[in-house]
Amino acid sequence: MENYVHMHECHEHKISIIINRTHAILHSIAILFLIHYRLSFFFQHPPNITIPTLPWLLIFVSELLLYLAWLLAQSHGWRPVYRTVFPERLPADDKLPAIDIFICTADPNKEPSVEVMNTVISAMALDYPPEKLHVYVSDDAGSDATLRCTKEAWNFARYWVPFCRKYGLVTACPDVYFSSSEDGFKGSSEFKAERKKMEVI
Binding residues, by number, are: 110-111, 140
- What sign does the dihedral 29-35-38-39 (CA atoms) show? negative
Annotated binding site for UDP-alpha-D-glucose, which residues?
Answer: 110-111, 140
DSSP 3-state assignment of 99? strand
DSSP state of 129: -
Residues 6+ apart with CB under 8 A from 17: 78, 79, 80
Say how far apart CA 184 and CA 101 lie, in whole Å.
28
Say how far apart CA 66 and CA 63 lie, in whole Å.
5
Say how far apart CA 149 and CA 108 lie, in whole Å.
11
Report the DSSP beta bridge partners of residue 12: 81
Contact criterion met (CB below 8 Å) for 124 and 161: yes
